[in-house]
A and B are shown apart, each in its own frame.
Chain A
């Protein structure tokens, strides 16, 4: 269900970004970028350093069809997730299936986090590099191609 998944480093540069529909790649990238501001906002708002699984919910920014910025419920939702090390995961989902959204999103973020830690565990991965792990890719793919 996710149409775009992005892993942003602490310094706000992307470590990994991938989208499903190629035609709107740029749009997704832009959405992710704009959501970073909201993420930072939330981080600073929260006093304690908690891992807020779902700390960002923008009830939709852009509809998939057009580029209009409109508040369009249940079109595209972006969710954010911040780890203790300030690594952010941003996910854009197609909200046509809103049933059990929250739990699903949380589980997806959990999977993302687990895969990310697996990547980190790899001693040959230098923090700050783009994530090129095939396992991570396959996991993200499984998340993206869920609902046609």
Chain B
């Protein structure tokens, strides 16, 4: 076809491709490609000549043109068709042809406004550019520019065999907008310069430039050419915006290095290695990994300093590796730089990984990690405040130690940390009242486990303690564990949460409890759910509540001791009695049985408030969860109404001190009863209280043992659940009472903690004032 075209256009006649000939040839190519008979007249008759598709390298251009012909840029197509022959003929022809083409182009443009857009796709990255310019200046005012453009383009065009495809990709989607945006000639010229082709000496330089381009441009397969194309398109509207084709190309390149789009391309050294300070090891790592990214970008032949800067800009998370987004940004910067754009000082917005994420669905990589990291916020203390870093550190610890009471105690000690953490959590889960309490709940409240757990697992995914939930097979156990674990995990919030968790025995109740707890926790310093500050593990509260719970449920006590405090009484009978020590008898209804437990619990309250609750709980069977096993051993179910108020308080106290516990046990008896009546409140509360009390009163180890014991108890009690069905009502009432008690206890605790907070703040203010006073002096 080409020979015919050439003949038709008179090239053969002239012996070279003059501009007019070139244009004609291009048109003929288009005609031919579109299937029209090859006639000179066809050029004129066929108005809608699709842009010939020029694909392939110099020599293959012709064949490619035929093969890849598409209705896109005819100009380019014609170019490509012409190029192969001309190189031999000389650059002069190209020059003239380019001029000629400019004119026909304009006409062609008119006919096919879209063709110019398409042209970019054509193999020569430049050609699209050039064409564009032509289009821009249909009047032919291109003069030098357009020529220069096409010229250099041609060279690369010829070489950009492999680039053709990407270019095609690029061009196809480039759209008019892209091209329209590109007006400044400099890019074109830059591009030209990149190709080592002086703008003026289009033809002559083109050829040699093409050769050079091959060597230089081809460093990265078609990457560079594709880059150029991309660059062009990118420079139009927003210099740093990545078009779809570009992105697609980048993604493909990324895949060649790293098949996993979610992975990342490591640079030479990973930051972790560097921080270790062991360079030798790091170097060996890089050798193993092959410094993929480094090699890849080195191919672009940019100076190392610039590549270094590009890496600096694009490695957003500074981890020494490039995710897909980062890689795209880096690639884009390389392209831009090659096209003559100066590297920005800061990463442009459009290249920011976050933004890229939005655009690129395929991009997952670290972005999510980064974002996720920041997003895990409620739980993860990413950046909130100075304490955040510490929180961040604590997070992993929390997760790990979720089941460890130790962490809980540690956490509780750092009130500030806890507070911050809570604040993070709070905003995170404002809506999931249950959720919050759950994770935070440190005290194992098996009683409520089942119900709580169900709720929690759903909502509490963010909580580190959630894994704990999973661990505990039993619902009840989980509840307890969740609450307890979470508590341990560090957030003082746990207290509030745990208590709420424990209340999950009754979904409704639990919900109420949770919310109530939340409110309480809000007042109480820590544990509660989102709104209030991180629920502190208020031993008094948790203990008391947990004790009550335990006692009431007897069954749960054992479990509570293990660490899962707040087992709602509703939970099937738990093996509480073993843990009688702590928990105060909660439920009045089942108080009798529970009371006995509670009586024993006082002694053990400090240690295992939950146990008592469990026992009571057992009695109540499936009744509400109530406060878990709080420490109040002394709850006496019968005296519910009266002591209920006192119980929470007493329970709180107990949590705080052993002595208190005892008191609670005494007073909790009635409280327990009241608790039973507050099904909603108790479940979460007991958990919380339990946590608190346990925390304060008990060493971590004890909690552990208790927790395990509680768990065991819960497990054991499960079979007995059915029998407690009849006592649901009583259990509910007991749990209600317990919850109320827990509420009051927590409220007191909260007030106390707030008081402490105020004191601390005052101290801080005074210190700051002193600092201020000292500062001026230092300047003297």
B270 partner, pick from A99, A121, A124, A126, beta carbons under 8 A: A121
Kindly state whether residue B41 has any CB partner on chain A within 8 Å. Answer: no
Kindly state whether residue B355 has any CB partner on chain A within 8 Å. Answer: no
Interface size on A, residues (CB 8 A): 22
- Complex formed: what's the CA distance from A125 to B308 in Å? 6
Kindly state whether residue B291 has any CB partner on chain A within 8 Å. Answer: yes
Interface size on B, residues (CB 8 A): 35
Query: 8 Å CB contacts to B: which residues of A120-138?
Result: 120-127, 132-135
Kindly state whether residue A97 has any CB partner on chain B within 8 Å. Answer: yes
Kindly state whether residue A118 has any CB partner on chain B within 8 Å. Answer: yes
B-side interface mostly: helix
- Chain B residue nearest to A87 in the complex (CB): B277
Q: Would you call A133 and B312 a contact (CB within 8 A)?
A: yes
A39 CB, min distance to chain B CBs, angstroms: 16
Q: Would you call B276 and A96 a contact (CB within 8 A)?
A: no
Q: Would you call A123 and B312 a contact (CB within 8 A)?
A: no
- Chain A residue nearest to B306 in the complex (CB): A124
A137 CB, min distance to chain B CBs, angstroms: 11
Name the segment of B48-56, B531-539, B725-733, B770-778 touching the other chain: B770-778
Q: Would you call A121 and B778 a contact (CB within 8 A)?
A: no
Q: Would you call A133 and B308 a contact (CB within 8 A)?
A: yes
Kindly state whether residue B275 has any CB partner on chain A within 8 Å. Answer: yes
Kindly state whether residue B269 has any CB partner on chain A within 8 Å. Answer: yes
Kindly state whether residue A142 has any CB partner on chain B within 8 Å. Answer: no
Kindly state whether residue A64 has any CB partner on chain B within 8 Å. Answer: no
- Complex formed: what's the CA distance from A83 to B775 in Å? 32
Kindly state whether residue B267 has any CB partner on chain A within 8 Å. Answer: yes
Q: Would you call B774 and A117 a contact (CB within 8 A)?
A: no
Kindly state whether residue B315 has any CB partner on chain A within 8 Å. Answer: yes
The residues of B that contact A34 with a CB separation of less than 8 Å are none
Kindly state whether residue A145 has any CB partner on chain B within 8 Å. Answer: no
- Chain B residue nearest to A51 in the complex (CB): B277
Give per-residue flags for B248-271: 1 if the beta carbon is below 8 A from chain A beta carbons, else 0. Answer: 000000000000000000011111
A106 CB, min distance to chain B CBs, angstroms: 14
Q: Would you call A121 and B274 a contact (CB within 8 A)?
A: yes
Kindly state whether residue A84 has any CB partner on chain B within 8 Å. Answer: yes
- Complex formed: what's the CA distance from A120 to B281 in Å? 13
Tell whether A123 pairs with B286 under 8 Å between CB atoms, given A99-B774, A134-B345.
yes
Q: Would you call B308 and A84 a contact (CB within 8 A)?
A: no
B366 CB, min distance to chain A CBs, angstroms: 13
Q: Would you call A117 and B275 a contact (CB within 8 A)?
A: yes
- Chain A residue nearest to B307 in the complex (CB): A124
The residues of A that contact B294 with a CB separation of less than 8 Å are 123-124
The residues of A that contact B771 with a CB separation of less than 8 Å are 99
Q: Would you call A122 and B308 a contact (CB within 8 A)?
A: yes
Kindly state whether residue A12 has any CB partner on chain B within 8 Å. Answer: no
Kindly state whether residue A44 has any CB partner on chain B within 8 Å. Answer: no
Q: Would you call A117 and B274 a contact (CB within 8 A)?
A: yes
Q: Would you call A121 and B319 a contact (CB within 8 A)?
A: yes
The residues of B that contact A133 with a CB separation of less than 8 Å are 308-309, 312
Query: 8 Å CB contacts to A: which residues of B18-60?
Result: none
Kindly state whether residue B487 has any CB partner on chain A within 8 Å. Answer: no
Tell whether A98 pairs with B778 under 8 Å between CB atoms, given A121-B319, A122-B308.
yes
A124 partner, pick from B308, B774, B779, beta carbons under 8 A: B308
Binding site for B on A (CB under 8 A): 51, 83-85, 96-99, 117-118, 120-127, 132-135
23 A-B residue pairings within 8 Å (CB atoms): A84-B278, A85-B277, A85-B278, A96-B779, A98-B778, A99-B778, A117-B274, A118-B318, A120-B274, A121-B269, A121-B270, A121-B271, A121-B318, A122-B267, A122-B311, A122-B312, A123-B311, A124-B308, A125-B308, A126-B304, A133-B308, A133-B312, A135-B312
A-B pairs with lowest CB-CB distance, top 8: A84-B277, A123-B267, A123-B268, A123-B294, A121-B320, A124-B308, A120-B274, A124-B307
12 additional contacts, CB 8 Å, given A124-B268, A135-B312?
Answer: A85-B279, A99-B774, A118-B312, A120-B269, A121-B270, A121-B320, A122-B268, A123-B291, A123-B293, A123-B294, A124-B298, A124-B304
